[in-house]
Amino acid sequence: MEQEQGTSGAIPVTVIPGDGIGPEVVGATRRLIDEAGVRMAWDEQPAGASVFRRGIASGVPQETLESIARTGVVLKGPLETPVGYGEKSANVTLRKLFETYGNIRPVREIPGVRTPYSGRQVDLVVVRENVEDLYAGIEHMQTPTVAQCLKLISRKGCEKIVRLAFEVARAEGRRKVHCATKSNIMKLTEGLLKQTFEAIAPEYPDIEAHHIIVDNCAHQLVKAPEQFDVIVTTNMNGDILSDLTSALVGGLGFAPSANIGHAVAMFEAVHGSAPKYAGRDVINPTAMILSGVMLLRHLGLFEAAALIEQALLVTLEDGRFLTRDVVGDARSVGTTAFTNAILDNFGRTPARAAVRRHQPLNLAAVTTTAGTGQAPAPARTVVGVDVFCESEQPAEVVGRTLEERIGGLPFTLKMISNRGTKVYPPNGAMTDMVDHWRCRFVLTEPATPLDAALVHRLLERVEGAFPWMHVEKLHTFDGHPGFTRSQGEDAAW
């Protein structure tokens, strides 16, 4: 087969064999790509368990980072974080360091693999935001018994993921994109994805755009998965939904993924290192092989991608050479024999499972500067502050104490909430209190400048009674509150 990229040299690709079954599934995939006639300059690099054990806390050594920065394309096996080493996952580190903001997880009905959904023609892609949300990993113990994780969602992050979803739909000839959010509850964070989706959708008039609440999306995926084409969603929602969708087509052995960034793209199976199967030549390499197929399409090598995908589908359809996860121990063949069968089927086309036609994926230009890109900048006013403080006293004592202490300052204690429910002034709520209080102070005269000196004076008064752990300014942007009300609160401020 001729190389389709139009250059005579081999294509540099970083390959990370990874841990457990990683070397076996990555090895099978490399072999098929090499045999498909594509000349890759594989640059093999370590990451994961062996690297943590060398004392490198990130699990990814400098030489691996340099290789990825140089090649921009990675075929990656699963990585483990051994117990007792490293606080952060090496996988998440790689995704974040190279800003691979989009995680594309396609699933389709696999011929020869019986599931409760067989015959329903499941064929969909989850496009998951990959670096923001609760997975930004910004966590703090607020009190000895109350933990907090910040859910950070940016307009820029939403724009990138929404455009990626529509572009995936176009590149694969798909007709619908569903945006799945929990915007009914998290109006500002999840709501930002919904708003951005609604703003960008008209740029893609050829594609139907629908919003769906994420819990209903999970329900619909189990009930009628064939109604979906592309689903775009936030990081944690996408993590959960995409494991669900992989189960619709036969499980983790069949779920490939691509981590897409503006400079780096990383291709890996959704599954982990399945350590109990490591080195036993029994594991199903399909998910990794399909990830390799996605890598080839990313490089514009559509013919080689189709050659491998078709041979894989022919092998699965044929049913004589399948791994133990599909047919059980008695009738199964090993990873190597399955890969040999795929090689033998090069050039054949499956009878039942057509391979989708793919166009190049048009990735939007991305800035790496900190700007909002919003023009003109909205008019901003600070109308008060939320002070989070700790106390084991009842709500009424906390409230009355604070009201006494702020005497003479230009603030009113508008309310106190406990885990988001208003508990002061008392309103009959049956809230089970914890020692973590959000105390909302609003300016009595909105024109008063709420500068750092005034915040300091307020904090000194609060601290005199209760330890505080953090402060949030209450902004309005163009007159719209940039903060939510608590459950049971009337007006925002």
Q: Which residues are catalytic?
A: 135, 182, 215, 239
The 3-class SS string of 290-323 reads: HHHHHHHHHCCCHHHHHHHHHHHHHHHHHCCCCC
* Site for ligand NAP contains 78 (CB under 6 A): yes
Residue nearer to ligand NAP on the CB measure, 14 or 417: 14
Instruction: Single out the residue of 91, 143, 242, 315 in contact with ligand NAP (rule: CB under 6 A).
Output: 91
Task: Kindly tell me which of 27 and 78 has the beta carbon lying closer to ligand NAP.
Answer: 78
Q: Cα separation of 333 and 342, whole Å? A: 12
Residue given tokens 């775009």 in the structure block:
232
Cα-trace Rg, the chain: 26
The strands making up 480-481's β-sheet, listed across from edge to edge, are 421-424, 411-418, 436-443, 380-390, 468-477, 480-481
Nearest approach in angstroms of CB 22 to ligand NAP is 8
Residue with smaller CB distance to ligand NAP, 12 or 272: 272
CB 393 within 8 Å of CB 448 = no
Q: Does 196 bind ligand NAP (CB under 6 A)?
A: no
How many residues form the binding site for ligand NAP (CB under 6 A)? 16
String of contacts with ligand NAP for each residue 242-281, x by CB under 6 A: ----------xx--------------x--xxxx-------
The least distance separating ligand NAP from the CB of residue 367, rounded to whole angstroms, comes to: 28
Which sign does the torsion angle of CA 182, 187, 193, 194 carry?
Answer: positive
DSSP output for 83-106: TTS-SS-HHHHHHHHTT--EEEEE
Q: Is 24 an interacting residue with respect to ligand NAP (CB under 6 A)?
A: no
Peptide bond into 425 cis (omega under 30): yes
> How far, in Å, CA of 285 to CA of 290, rounded?
9
Q: Are the C-beta atoms of residues 189 and 153 closer than 8 Å to each other?
A: yes
The vertex-404 CA angle with 399 and 410, nearest 5°, equals 100
- Closer CB to ligand NAP, 129 or 268, in the complex: 268
Strand partners, 256: 269
- Identity of the residue, 81 or 181, whose beta carbon is nearer to ligand NAP in the bound complex: 81
| 108 vs 163, beta carbon nearer ligand NAP | 108
Residue 343 DSSP code: H
**What DSSP assignment string belongs to 408-431?**
TSSEEEEEEEETTEEEES------
Among 14, 284, 391, 418, binds ligand NAP (CB under 6 A): 284
Distance in Å, CB of 324 to ligand NAP, minimum = 8
Q: Per CB under 6 A, does 79 bind ligand NAP?
A: yes
Query: Integer distance in angstroms from the first to the last C-alpha of the chain?
Result: 67
Return the number of the residue (250 or 350) whose C-beta is nearest ligand NAP: 250
Q: Which of 109, 150, 111, 108 is nearest to 133 (CA)?
A: 150
CB of 87 to ligand NAP, least distance (A): 14
Single-letter code of the amino acid located at 217: C
Q: By CB under 6 A, what part of segment 316-335 binds ligand NAP?
A: 325
- Supply the minimum distance, in Å, between the C-beta of residue 416 and ligand NAP: 40
Interacting span for ligand NAP (CB under 6 A) from 72-80, 151-159, 192-200, 475-483: 72-80
Q: Which stretch binds ligand NAP (CB under 6 A): 3-11, 60-68, 77-85, 380-388?
A: 77-85
CA neighbor of 130 nearest in space, from 236, 55, 270: 236
Q: Least separation, in Å, of the C-beta of 254 and ligand NAP? A: 9
The minimum distance between CB 251 and ligand NAP, in angstroms, equals 7
CA distances from 32 to 35, 263, 282 (A): 5, 26, 18
- Tell me the closest approach of the beta carbon of residue 12 to ligand NAP, in angstroms: 22
Asked if 80 interacts with ligand NAP (CB under 6 A), we say yes
Distance of CA 399 to CAs 233, 389, 426, 457, Å?
39, 12, 9, 18
Query: Which one, 78 or 384, has the nearer CB to ligand NAP?
Result: 78
Of 78-86, 130-138, 176-184, 188-196, the window that binds ligand NAP (rule: CB under 6 A) is 78-86
- Which residues here bind ligand NAP, judged by CB under 6 A? 78-81, 91, 252-253, 268, 271-274, 283-284, 287, 325
